[in-house]
């Protein structure tokens, strides 16, 4: 497209902006490029005005229109995010509790006999042995103190 340096001034004159109106009008009358450009601007404006279609709400649409507005104005339905969060925390706590219970409690022990955990003596030179004696009435643990020949009493 061939351009003229007056074209920006023509645009401002077309939009009724403050500019050198007489000189622009005089130039447009003499310049074919700017004349065509002004005609194109007019054509564009008429086209835009023709395409513009103001939205209108018909009477039959009005109840639905207001209903939409009312729905937006009504408070949002109650959300249950807090309840779900608490339920999640409770479930996690229960899982942790059950896990800890299983770890600490373990399974019932099968070994329930008498068990000597430690056995010592203060008799000098003596040694201690622990023996398990299994008899018909059950197990009996024995703590034996073996004293050397030396009289300690």
Partner 1 sequence: MVNLLSTGILIVALAAGEGNAIKPEAVTVSMVAVRATIEGREEKHFDAGLEAIRKAVADLPYDTYRKVKSSKTPAPFDQETKIGINKEYSLYVTPLAKKSDGRIRMKARIEMQPKDEKKKAINTHVTTALLKPGKKLKFCGGMKADGGELVVIISIED
The count of other CB atoms within 10 Å of the CB of residue 145 is 13
Q: What is the DSSP string of 126-147?
A: -EEEEEEEEETTEEEEEEEEE-
**Rg value, the chain, Cα:** 52
Q: How far is the CB of 79 from partner 1 (least distance, A)?
A: 19
Q: Which stretch binds partner 1 (CB under 8 A): 16-24, 38-46, 63-71, 140-148?
A: 140-148
Q: How far is the CB of 102 from partner 1 (least distance, A)?
A: 9
- Residue labelled with tokens 């600490």: 104
Question: Do 12 and 28 touch, CB atoms closer than 8 A?
Answer: no
Per DSSP, the three-state class of 31 is: coil
Nearer CB in complex with partner 1: 57/113: 113
> Does residue 40 interact with partner 1 by CB under 8 A?
no
CA angle 97, 101, 107 (to 5 degrees): 155
- Compute the distance between CA of residue 13 and CA of residue 11 in angstroms, rounded to an integer: 5
Tokens coding 25: 């009008």
Nearer CB in complex with partner 1: 66/98: 98
Total of residues contacting partner 1 (CB under 8 A) = 45
Nearer CB in complex with partner 1: 21/90: 90
Interaction with partner 1 in 77-136: which residues (CB under 8 A)?
Answer: 86, 89-90, 93-94, 96-98, 100-101, 104-106, 108-109, 112-123, 126, 128, 131, 133, 135-136
| Positions in the binding site for partner 1 (CB under 8 A) | 86, 89-90, 93-94, 96-98, 100-101, 104-106, 108-109, 112-123, 126, 128, 131, 133, 135-147, 153
């Amino acid at each position: 497209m061939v351009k003229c340096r007056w074209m920006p001034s023509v645009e401002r004159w077309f939009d009724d902006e403050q500019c050198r109106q007489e000189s622009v009008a005089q130039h447009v009358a003499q310049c074919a490029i700017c004349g065509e450009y002004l005609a194109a601007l007019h054509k564009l404006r008429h086209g835009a005005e023709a395409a513009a279609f103001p939205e209108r709400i018909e009477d039959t649409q009005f109840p639905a229109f207001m209903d939409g507005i009312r729905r937006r104005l009504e408070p949002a339905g109650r959300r249950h995010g807090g309840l779900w969060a608490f339920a999640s925390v409770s479930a996690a706590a229960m899982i942790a509790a059950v896990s800890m219970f299983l770890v600490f409690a373990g399974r019932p022990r099968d070994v329930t006999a008498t068990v000597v955990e430690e056995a010592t003596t203060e008799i000098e030179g003596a040694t201690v042995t622990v023996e398990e004696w299994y008899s018909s009435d059950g197990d009996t643990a024995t703590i034996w103190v073996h004293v050397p020949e030396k009289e300690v009493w």
